[in-house]
Chain A
Amino acid sequence: MLGKTYQKMMEQVTPSEELLYRTKRRIEHQKPKRTMKRLILVVVTICICISISLTVLAANGMLFNIAPQLAQFMQPIELSSESEGITMNVVSAMNDDETAIVYLTLQDVEADRIDKTVDLYNYSIRGYSAFTHEVVHYDEQTKTATIRLLANGGEKLNGKKVTLKLSSFLSKKKTYEDVPLSIDLKNLEDVQTIPLDLNNIPGGGGEGFEALLAKQTMPVLKPSHQSPDFVAISGVGYVDGLLHIQTDWADSVDNHGFITLTDANGKEIQSYANLYFGLDQNGNTTYGRRYVEHLFQIPKENLPNVKAKGTFVENQNYTEGNWQVTFKIQAVNSSAILKKNVQIEGQQIDEVKITPMGISLSSVVDMDGLEISAILKDGKQISYTHSISIDRKQKILPELPIDISQIQEIRIGKSRINLQ
């Protein structure tokens, strides 16, 4: 009985279209890029332009206003790189041996391509393997976005030169959530279909995607003539037991969206599968991503009781360029406390290293549900909020660095590490 209920329950748990899309996009970031022509690396040693220096100073000031304790950990970098009329400044960084947090600014000195939705698309810091970033500040007047970038997986990079390279970013992102689609599902007319060769599509997704691929070919709706600025519904029809809703996307790097149905009880019905394809000049399907066929497993008689809605994300700007800054990554505060043979939650850890940036463990501990915090001498408690493990080592990070001379004790679940 438990097994049956559990199975029925779990059948309802599926990854959303948005998650599948996001995952594929992140994977694209990770994939090695095609070999490019050898570039002459230009290391900009001193900021030449007064206005850039002012921006840097303003950015530093802004950072310290956000978190005054950053001042004692930040290493000022103040190096910049300009391409396509946009300046990237590496303002400052903090690091220990494995992890770096870099604050950088992007300023558009020619146009209006930087806003608070700016999203780094193709970027790397040589030597590190995992990244995340967020915009922490946007200055409307100077059109400058300040971005905090967290890089992990470095190996003894303290004191060495690293290169931050940015090749493209997205901006002017607009999200249209839960937009009701004006589709009359009660009176679907007969539709024209065209065959889609499932061996010649760039991809798709959904629970039923794999099963559809096995069919080799399947009918998709013949797209109605569209020239969308962003996205349009180019067809709706019921074919072979599946509801097809087709979207037509204008050529873009990262515009995307997904469609869901809602039944009379308000329950959402996710698509069974979706398929990407293109159309050639003769109106035949071909390899491409312009069209997305969203397929729903729903009996035809239920269609009058469902409504369709879509969530669409539009990136109005995709900017490519070549911004790169090489800088020496040097921890301002290189204090560290090393503890050997520490018991954490019943597990012996050979080495625990505590630095202002976080706690490094020589092996991985199951931290599931554990509260991790530093108790300072003044009684204040600071939580560690991130945990990353790479190559059987684990790093736990607080939101902001901590002066370890002020830490009395580290608490990991019920375990205590006394630093006094």
Chain B
Amino acid sequence: MAEQVIDEAIAQYSNLVYRLAFSYTGKKSDADDLFQEVFLRYIRKKPMFESEEHARAWFIRVTINCGKRFHTSTWRRKTVPLDDEIVFEMRDEMDLYHELIRLPAKYRAVIHLFYYENLKVEQISQIVRRKPSTVRAQLTRARKMLKERLEGEFSC
């Protein structure tokens, strides 16, 4: 795979992958590891994309798959400083972040794909390979949990 193609893929999809990885793991250091794993997989698999939409779906699905299988190595942890907190600008963002990381990872992924990537339930269900009814139920449960914990701060 040409270096230029790799550089372009990283430039184009780095935010997509990193934000999903961060939403899935809730930690910067874990998101860093997951991010690298996704792009290493991209090099190994050398996928050919039919469209931009296809490419985005591939990166999203691989990030989620890698996230499911991912546990950080203690070897790496020994050498990487654990500066895991991201300081968000606004208090409501910090509150939301702290409540999100208490949710199960699979809920966080669904929240991210729905609210950030603006995907429909059917699209999410295809990517995460769960039934639309399961995705819908997970979204409802996640919103309910957030609403309760944030004491009505958000109308979801």
Query: Chain A interface (Cβ within 8 Å of chain B)?
Result: 1-3, 5-10, 12-16, 19-20, 22-24, 26-27, 30-31, 129, 132, 134, 150, 202-207, 209-210, 213, 267, 364, 366-369, 385-389, 394, 396, 399
In the complex where A27-B39, A205-B10 touch, is A10 in contact with B73 (Cβ < 8 A)?
A: no
- Are A2 and B146 interface neighbours, CB within 8 A? yes
- Are B18 and A387 interface neighbours, CB within 8 A? no
Q: Does B61 interact with chain A (Cβ within 8 Å)?
A: no
Q: State the main secondary structure of chain B at its contact with A.
A: helix
Which residues of chain B are near A19, meaning CB under 8 Å?
Answer: 18, 32, 35-36
- Are B39 and A13 interface neighbours, CB within 8 A? no
Binary interface profile of B, 4-46, with partner A (CB < 8 Å = 1, else 0)?
A: 1011101110110011001100000000100110011001100
In the complex where A10-B112, A12-B89 touch, is A31 in contact with B43 (Cβ < 8 A)?
A: yes
In the complex where A5-B154, A10-B19, A367-B69 touch, is A27 in contact with B6 (Cβ < 8 A)?
A: yes
- Are B79 and A134 interface neighbours, CB within 8 A? yes
Within the complex, what minimum Cβ distance (angstroms) separates B63 from chain A? 12
Which residues of chain B are near A366, meaning CB under 8 Å?
Answer: 68-69, 106
- Are A132 and B92 interface neighbours, CB within 8 A? no
Within the complex, what minimum Cβ distance (angstroms) separates B6 from chain A? 6
- Are B69 and A364 interface neighbours, CB within 8 A? yes
Q: Does B70 interact with chain A (Cβ within 8 Å)?
A: yes
In the complex where A2-B154, A368-B67, A386-B74 touch, is A9 in contact with B40 (Cβ < 8 A)?
A: no
Which residues of chain A are near B67, meaning CB under 8 Å?
Answer: 368
Query: Chain A: which residue is nearest B87 at the CB level?
Result: A267
Which residues of chain B are near A387, meaning CB under 8 Å?
Answer: 69-71
- Are B116 and A385 interface neighbours, CB within 8 A? no
- Assembly CA distance A20 to B69 (angstroms): 22
- Assembly CA distance A24 to B36 (angstroms): 9
Query: Chain A: which residue is nearest B44 at the CB level?
Result: A30
Q: Does B127 interact with chain A (Cβ within 8 Å)?
A: no
Which residues of chain A are near B112, meaning CB under 8 Å?
Answer: 6, 10
Within the complex, what minimum Cβ distance (angstroms) separates B75 from chain A? 5
Within the complex, what minimum Cβ distance (angstroms) separates B131 from chain A? 16
Within the complex, what minimum Cβ distance (angstroms) separates A10 from chain B? 5
Which residues of chain A are near B35, meaning CB under 8 Å?
Answer: 15, 19, 23
* Subset of 23 A-B contacts with CB under 8 Å: A1-B156, A2-B146, A5-B154, A8-B89, A9-B96, A10-B22, A13-B18, A13-B19, A14-B18, A15-B14, A16-B32, A22-B36, A24-B6, A24-B10, A31-B43, A202-B7, A205-B10, A210-B8, A367-B68, A368-B70, A368-B104, A368-B105, A396-B71
- Are A5 and B76 interface neighbours, CB within 8 A? no
- Assembly CA distance A374 to B10 (angstroms): 39
- Are A6 and B111 interface neighbours, CB within 8 A? yes
Q: Indicate which residue in B36, B78, B155 contacts A23 across the interface (CB closer than 8 Å).
A: B36
Query: Chain B interface (Cβ within 8 Å of chain A)?
Result: 1, 3-4, 6-8, 10-12, 14-15, 18-19, 22-23, 32, 35-36, 39-40, 43-44, 67-71, 73-76, 78-79, 86-90, 92-93, 96-97, 104-106, 111-112, 115-116, 143, 146, 153-156
- Assembly CA distance A134 to B68 (angstroms): 25
Which residues of chain A are near B116, meaning CB under 8 Å?
Answer: 6-7, 10
Query: Chain A: which residue is nearest B114 at the CB level?
Result: A3
Within the complex, what minimum Cβ distance (angstroms) separates B95 from chain A? 9
Which residues of chain A are near B96, meaning CB under 8 Å?
Answer: 2, 5-6, 9
Which residues of chain A are near B153, meaning CB under 8 Å?
Answer: 1
- Assembly CA distance A386 to B73 (angstroms): 5
- Are B7 and A9 interface neighbours, CB within 8 A? no
Within the complex, what minimum Cβ distance (angstroms) separates A248 from chain B? 21
- Assembly CA distance A20 to B38 (angstroms): 12
Query: Chain B: which residue is nearest A27 at the CB level?
Result: B43
- Are A26 and B75 interface neighbours, CB within 8 A? no
Which residues of chain B are near A129, meaning CB under 8 Å?
Answer: 44
